[in-house]
Chains A and B, each alone.
Chain A
Amino acid sequence: MSEQDEDLELQALQRELDDAFATTRPRRGYEDELWLTIQQQRPVTNRLWGSLAAFWQSVRQAPAMPAAAVAAVLVVAIGVGLFASGLHPGGGASHMSGSPALSEDTSRNGTTQFGPNSFGQLPQPGGAKSVSGPPPQAVSGTPEYYGPAQLVWSGSADISTNSAPVFRYQEPTSVQADQFAGSLGARLVDRQAGNLGYYSTPTYTLAVRGTVQAPPANPAYFIASVSIPPVNAAGASAQDIATIFLAEHNLLPQWKYTVSVDASGDPVRVHFDRIFTVPGYGNGDSYLVDASGARSGLEVDISGRRPVLVIGPLPVTLDTAYYRIVSPANAVQAAPSSPSGPTIRLTQAELVYVLVPAGDHSFYEPAYLMSGTLDIGGTQMVKHVLVPAIDPSQRAK
Chain B
Amino acid sequence: MGRIYAYVRAQVGSSADAEDITAQVFVNAYQAYPRFEPRNTTPAAWLFRIARNATLDHFRASGRRDRLQRTIQHQPMAEEDPAGKAEERIQYRALLARVAQLPERQRDAISLRHSGLSFDEVGKLMDCSEDAAKMLYHRALKALREVVQREGV
Contact present for A25 and B6 (CB under 8 Å): yes
Once the chains bind, are B23 and A101 in contact (CB under 8 Å)? no
The CA of A31 and the CA of B31, in the complex, are separated in Å by 19
A25 touches B89 (CB 8 A): yes
Partner of A67, one of B27, B87, B115, B145: B115
Which of A11-19, A216-224, A345-353, A384-392 sits within the interface? Answer: A11-19
Contacts of A136 in B (CB 8 A): none
Contact A21 B115 (CB under 8 A): yes
Contact with B along A116-138 (1 / 0, CB 8 A): 00000000000000000000000
A25 with B33: in contact, given A34-B26, A71-B46, A72-B43 (CB under 8 Å)? no
Chain A contacts for B78, CB-based, 8 A = none
Contact between B148 and A27, CB atoms less than 8 A apart: no
A-side contacts of B22, CB under 8 Å: 26, 34
Q: Which of A92-100, A262-270, A286-294, A328-336 contacts B (4 or more CB under 8 A)?
A: A92-100
Q: Indicate whether A98 sits within 8 Å of B30 (C-beta atoms), given known contacts A26-B87, A70-B1.
A: no
Q: Report if A63 contacts B (CB, 8 A).
A: yes
Q: Which of B7-15, B56-64, B122-130 contacts A (4 or more CB under 8 A)?
A: B7-15
Q: Which listed residue, B9, B29, B141, B144, touches A74 by the CB 8 Å rule?
A: B29
Q: Does A376 contact B (CB under 8 A)?
A: no
Contacts of B31 in A (CB 8 A): 41
Q: Check B44–A67 contact: CB distance below 8 A.
A: yes
Say how far B2's CB is from chain A's closest CB, in angstroms: 5
Q: Which residue of A lies closest to B7 (CB)?
A: A21
Task: Indicate if the CB atoms of A13 and B144 lie closer than 8 Å.
Answer: yes
Q: A41-B30, A41-B31, A89-B33 are in contact. Are A17 and B43 (CB under 8 A)?
A: no
Considering the complex, which residues of chain A in the window 50-71 have a beta carbon less than 8 Å from any beta carbon of chain B? 52, 59, 63-64, 66-68, 70-71
Report chain B residues within 8 Å CB of A72. Answer: 43
Which residues from chain A contact B144 at a C-beta distance below 8 Å? 13, 17
Q: Chain B residues near A31 (CB, 8 Å)? A: 1
Q: Which residues of A have CB within 8 Å of B88?
A: 23, 25, 27
B62 → A minimal CB distance (Å)? 19
The residue that B47 contacts in the complex, of A24, A71, A90, A96, with Cβ under 8 A, is A71
- Among the listed A13, A30, A64, A68, which residue makes an inter-chain contact with B43, where contact means beta carbons less than 8 Å apart? A68
Interface string of A13-51 (1 = CB under 8 A from B): 110111111111111101101100110010000000000
B118 CB to nearest chain A CB (Å): 9
For residue A9, which residue of chain B has the nearest CB?
B145
Within 8 A of A (CB), among B28-59: 29-31, 33-39, 42-44, 46-48
Q: Which residue of B lies closest to A97 (CB)?
A: B38
Complexed CA–CA distance, A25 and B1 (Å): 9
Task: Determine if B33 and A92 form an interchain contact, defined as CB atoms under 8 angstroms apart.
Answer: yes
Contact A27-B15, Cβ < 8 Å, known A20-B92, A21-B114, A90-B35? yes
Known A-B contacts A68-B44, A95-B38; the reply to A38 vs B27 at CB < 8 A is yes
B70 at the interface (CB under 8 A from A): no
Contact present for A26 and B15 (CB under 8 Å): yes
Closest to A22 in B: B6
Pairwise interchain contact A25-B5, C-beta atoms closer than 8 A: yes
In whole angstroms, how far apart are the Cα atoms of A23 and B116 in the complex?
A: 13
Q: Which of B4, B30, B99 has the most CB of A within 10 A?
A: B30
Shortest Cβ distance from B85 into A: residue: A27
CB of A67 within 8 A of CB of B92, answer no
Q: Is the CB of B38 within 8 A of A16?
A: no
- Residues of B contacting A98 in the complex (Cβ-Cβ under 8 angstroms): 38-39
Q: Is B135 among interface residues, defined by CB-CB distance under 8 A?
A: no
Is residue A102 within 8 Å, beta carbon to beta carbon, of the partner chain? yes
* A13 engages B148 (CB within 8 Å): yes
Across the interface, do B141 and A13 meet the contact criterion of CB distance under 8 Å? Answer: yes
Chain A residues near B33 (CB, 8 Å)? 75, 78-79, 89, 92
CA distance A27 to B9 in the complex (A): 12
Interface residue? A10 (CB, 8 A): yes
- A68 to B30, Cβ gap below 8 A? no
A278 to B73, CA, bound (A): 59
Instruction: Determine if B95 and A90 form an interchain contact, defined as CB atoms under 8 angstroms apart.
Output: no
Given the interface pairs A20-B92, A30-B19, the reply to whether A67 lies near B38 with Cβ below 8 Å is: no
Structural contact, B87 and A96, CB atoms closer than 8 A: no
- Asked if A67 and B142 make an inter-chain contact with CB atoms under 8 angstroms apart, the answer reads no
What A residues does B114 contact at CB under 8 A? 14, 17-18, 20-21
Across the interface, do A21 and B23 meet the contact criterion of CB distance under 8 Å?
A: no
Give chain A's interface residues, CB within 8 Å of chain B. 9-10, 13-14, 16-28, 30-31, 33-34, 37-38, 41, 52, 59, 63-64, 66-68, 70-72, 74-75, 78-79, 89-92, 95-96, 98-99, 101-102, 175
23 A-B Cβ contacts within 8 A? A13-B141, A13-B144, A17-B95, A21-B10, A21-B111, A23-B88, A24-B2, A24-B6, A24-B87, A26-B18, A26-B83, A26-B87, A27-B83, A31-B1, A33-B19, A41-B27, A41-B31, A52-B30, A66-B44, A74-B29, A91-B37, A95-B39, A99-B42
